[in-house]
Amino acid sequence: MAAYSGYSDQELTALLKDGDQYAYTTIFERYHALLYIFAYKKIHDREEAKDIVHDLFAGLWEKRTTLNVTGQLLPYLYTVLKHQIFDLYKHKKVTERYLETFQAYLDVEPEAADYRIRHNDLQALIEKEIAALPEKMRVVFELSRDTYMSRKEIAAALDLSEDTVKSRMYHALKILKGKLGSKSFFIFF
């Protein structure tokens, strides 16, 4: 491998394209420290600088067969590294915006989330109690509530008198108020 250290960038790049691991190792040893220093000066985080340089060399090996280096290798590697640093900054900005938005949601929405949970629980309880009504009352109640039919329309649809519809609605509401309590019942309706 000592012989590889005397090869030019163009020779090493050609060997790398052919899958020569020694050429890859020589390129790594030749430029790793320079690229790390450059990345660290831009990022100011040792671990992120190590990671980004590692990613650069991993990508170099993965894309070795399609590598298109015109000119010197070092400027090419710096360009790739700069793009990775820009991508890192963009990713950080997106992450920061997401975290800020999420934090704002957490700061503003706890009451709304609590309200939705209580509302959904209450709605489930009301639906359960409506389902437990005697069938004839339940049918009249659901027609009134879900389809907004008038007493006259319900009476015509079920072939009942309007007084019977009125009586069943009255008894259904009375049962529901008794089971649910008048406040929660009227808040929901």
DSSP secondary structure string for all residues of 75-112 = HHHHHHHHHHHHHHHHHHHHHHHHHHHHHHHHHHSHHH
Q: Is the pLDDT of residue 177 over 90?
A: no
Q: Is the pLDDT of residue 155 over 80?
A: yes
pLDDT at residue 1 in the model: 61
Pairwise pLDDT comparison (36 vs 132), residue with the higher score = 36
Whether the domain at 2-107 and the domain at 110-188 fall into the same CATH topology: no
Beta strands in 65-115 (DSSP E): none
Q: Region 68-90: what's the mean pLDDT?
A: 90
pLDDT at residue 40 in the model: 94
Q: Is the pLDDT of residue 104 over 80?
A: no
Q: Is the pLDDT of residue 172 over 80?
A: yes
pLDDT at residue 149 in the model: 81
Q: How would CATH label the architecture of 2-107?
A: Orthogonal Bundle (1.10)
pLDDT at residue 107 in the model: 66
**Cβ atoms within 10 A of the Cβ of 90, count?**
10
pLDDT at residue 102 in the model: 73
pLDDT at residue 48 in the model: 92
Q: Does domain 110-188 have CATH number 1.10.10.10?
A: yes
Q: Is the pLDDT of residue 189 over 60?
A: no
pLDDT at residue 75 in the model: 92
Supply angle C-alpha 144, 148, 153, rounded to 5: 75
**Cβ atoms within 10 A of the Cβ of 180, count?**
18
Alpha-carbon gap, residue 94 to 124, rounded angstroms = 39
Domain boundaries, the chain: 2-107, 110-188
Q: Region 8-25: what's the mean pLDDT?
A: 92
| Residue of 99, 90, 87, 81 whose CA lies nearest to 41 | 81
Instruction: Report yes or no: 16 and 27 within 8 Å, Cβ to Cβ.
Output: yes
